[in-house]
Structure 1
Amino acid sequence: MEKGHIVLIISLLVNVLLLGTGSYVVRNIGGLEVVKTKMQSATSPNKDSAYYFTKKSVFEHSSISNIDKVFIGDSISDYGEFQEYFPGEVVLNRGIRNDWTKGVLNRIQEVVDRNPKEAYLMIGVNDIRYGTEAEVFKSNVEKIVDSFEGKDTSLAIQSILPVNNGLLGNEVTNDKVKRFNIILQKIADDKGIEYIDLHSSFTDKNGQLNKQFTGDGLHLNGKGYEVWVDRLRSK
């Protein structure tokens, strides 16, 4: 066998081995969605994001009115089919994947102007991922809440959910989640609005996001959304 053919065969075998190893690693860290999430963490949330600005534009050009409920937040809200849980009501999803408090503040007026009966805000896990200072986080949330001043909307702040570090890794710690939730609860108390503790409904005995509710340690599966909605129905 010629030397060139041997080199080609060895090269092909090495590439197959690397491809197989890469696929195995991707599967074991939670799949392509987790890899994409981790790659996004290399830059600021929604900086020059086509998805963010497309969704924001779609929201702003909607003519829907007489809103019963609206859910505002990041991917954890974005992935939820909330309208299916509240038949007979007009329910909007204003979650945008990878969003943070600054991004929500930049688009909240569209929600406010629709004067929904109820609004549910869940935001903060990406602020933790991207290193937002606690005071900046607090200021942004306060501005979001203040946007509803003078409106008839009943606004509720929902706690940030726990994460499962065994699946997600350590870019978000549950200690930081708890500290940011303390800030959220204090804002709600100071502003006289409702604070909904979802965090405690999702933790396991070790304080992690229970694996039965997630596939990647951060986002919820269908069972997780059922728990979330049941919690809102029972409040």
Structure 2
Amino acid sequence: TNDFMPHIPDNDELSISKRIIKICDTLKNTLGDCTIYVISLFPVNLSNEPIIYRDWLIGKTNEKVQRVNLHLSKLCGERNYSYINAFSSLQDKNGQLDISFTLDGTHLNIEGYKILLNLLSKFF
């Protein structure tokens, strides 16, 4: 989600998605016969909770994150990459990063990583 920051060129959702996929394409071309897994972007928490660090959230919304994830899912399908939707597992009832899973509204804490590990363990 750092690519949403205003000072990053080409910070629209499609460009961000294509950059992620370009990294995957490079890995696939370099490694050859391998499985590529792409994990969705995580939600952010834009609430007024005291732990939220506003500077990390500049330019970020969950709507933008979801649009990137939609593009990623489509691009993964076109390339036969495995797409893993972590967004849904980390969001609260309001569609934000669950406050109990974050250090600052953007980054996961140990509880968030436990959720992620549980999700990823289904793929390996």
TM-score w.r.t. length of structure 1? 0.44
Structure number with greater CO (CA < 8 Å, separation at least 6) is: 2
* 2: CA distance, partners of 1:168 / 1:162: 15
* 1: CA distance, partners of 2:98 / 2:76: 26
Partner in structure 2 of residue 129 of structure 1: 5
1:151 pairs with 29, 32, 55, which one? 32
* 1: CA distance, partners of 2:20 / 2:38: 9
2:67 pairs with 174, 179, 190, which one? 179
Q: How does 1:83-162 map to 2 (within 5 A)?
A: 125-130=1-6, 132-147=11-26, 148-149=28-29, 151-162=32-43
CA shift digits 1:66-105 (9 cap, x unpaired) = xxxxxxxxxxxxxxxxxxxxxxxxxxxxxxxxxxxxxxxx
Does the 8 Å contact 1:162/1:174 carry over to 2?
yes
Question: Are the structure 2 counterparts of residues 140 and 168 from structure 1 closer, same or farther at C-alpha, using a change threshold of 3 Å?
Answer: same
Partner in structure 2 of residue 203 of structure 1: 91
Amino acid at match of 1:165: L
Partner in structure 2 of residue 78 of structure 1: none
Number of aligned residue pairs: 111
Q: Which protein is bigger by CA-based radius of gyration? A: 1
Query: Unmatched 5+ residue regions in structure 1?
Result: 1-124
| Overall identity of the aligned pairs, in % | 34
Query: Unmatched 5+ residue regions in structure 2?
Result: none
CA shift digits 1:35-89 (9 cap, x unpaired) = xxxxxxxxxxxxxxxxxxxxxxxxxxxxxxxxxxxxxxxxxxxxxxxxxxxxxxx
Partner-residue secondary structure (3-state), 1:185: helix
Q: CA RMSD in A?
A: 1.7
Greater Cα shift, 168-177 or 196-205? 168-177
Partner in structure 2 of residue 222 of structure 1: 110
* 2: CA distance, partners of 1:213 / 1:142: 26
* 2: CA distance, partners of 1:230 / 1:163: 20
Does the 8 Å contact 2:37/2:83 carry over to 1?
yes
Does the 8 Å contact 2:45/2:97 carry over to 1?
yes
Q: How does 1:31-50 map to 2 (within 5 A)?
A: none
Amino acid at match of 1:207: G
Partner-residue secondary structure (3-state), 1:195: strand
* 2: CA distance, partners of 1:160 / 1:135: 13
TM-score w.r.t. length of structure 2? 0.80
Question: Are the structure 2 counterparts of residues 138 and 201 from structure 1 closer, same or farther at C-alpha, using a change threshold of 3 Å?
Answer: closer
* 1: CA distance, partners of 2:21 / 2:46: 29
